Structure 1
Amino acid sequence: MKLYALSLGAGLLVGVVYSLLQVRSPAPPLVALVGLLGILVGEQAIPVGKQLLRGTAFGAACQQTQATEHVLGQLPGRQAAPGQAAETKPGDPQA
């Protein structure tokens, strides 16, 4: 139940921001997509930020928290193996 209340609160906050920006909901497709990108990136800001505060390089922090995979999804040419991401080489047959 707590998750639903937090989700409703976040939705209300976004609604207030949309109102302040004078954007009607449902937002135009490009505005909505940029907003979704912001949500995905913002969701990864805390875990990556914690790694950066520990002295980890940005690229390594993104890799350790799997931020890139979360934001971009599975990139073309990659196949996810259970428990690890496997990279395919050009010319390898796709499964």
Structure 2
Amino acid sequence: MWGSMLLALATGIIIGVVFQSLKIPSPAPPFLGLLGLLGMFLGQRLMPWIQLWLSRK
């Protein structure tokens, strides 16, 4: 798990450096992008609980 997170972080840093060096604007405003990532993370963490809740109905 930590390996995947470190790989994702390293990839993000590399892409950020490339975008900045080529003067390419970020594809999404940083705040909105971070909110989207937070939503994806929370959705992944909540999915097992949602499935459990739905299976009890």
TM-score w.r.t. the length of structure 1 is: 0.34
TM-score w.r.t. the length of structure 2 is: 0.49
Q: Compare CA radii of gyration and give the structure with the larger one.
A: 1
Structure 1 or 2: larger helix share? Answer: 2
Bigger relative contact order, structure 1 or 2 (CA pairs below 8 A, ≥6 apart): 1
Structure 1 or 2: larger strand share? Answer: 1
